[in-house]
Structure 1
């Protein structure tokens, strides 16, 4: 007997649910596939302690969803260098890293946008150059629209807003 339940037909299953407890509405509404990495314990209250949201964007060329293994290795090196330069002393918090749409984006919450850019540039100067763009903006205050910010976990959608 045939069944319409995808669990009964694993060869036809389009996607396998991940191990995160995010809901579909927690992700951006973009139709492109993307890979999201973020700390599991970061909440909105943590991010509100930092007045700026900074983005580092690396565009890549690939025939596939992900960057080439060589470019991916360079991205992982940049990831380690940036996180070491800006998070060790509490100056910034890593929010998320998103890969998809032919770019990888790192999002950080920081105390000072100009100092953040300086730290990133100094950290990458010895091993670069890298094809990255840096941008930052004053962060929106979510305290009025989200009542329990200390209990509300940061979602991929909110991280990319």
Structure 2
């Protein structure tokens, strides 16, 4: 029994040594979205306030992540539109102040997890590209990724003005994390 406990402890220690924890650097990270407008253009926006963490195995083939976006920080560079996006027609930020994501798996190319938007939780899959990793000039270590997925906003209970504003919404996340 003692040998089994020692072996289990050694496995836990060696497994945790193979992974690193990262804190998202919000100054070098972005959450953006694109939707079609009236069939003639694309509206681009971003969320200015978010935080998150991720864990990455040394081999880069597994890990986990969690992100929280402040829905009221939506920014499309047009104050009246942003106010409308915060309203019950779209994000309803008073009732649903955050958008969250918690991963369930990562294989180095696909990040799967549960996205909660507008009070509805659905599984989503992001296509992920590792941009790079390495030492920074301040004595830290950083890793960066780009991830994208396409959502149907109606599946999250946001169906106002479809098809004038497309149902399909492209979500792109550009993340730079600092190893802790």
What TM-score do the two structures reach when normalised by structure 2? 0.27
Larger radius of gyration: 2
Q: Which has the higher strand share?
A: 2
Higher helix share: 1
TM-score (norm 1): 0.30
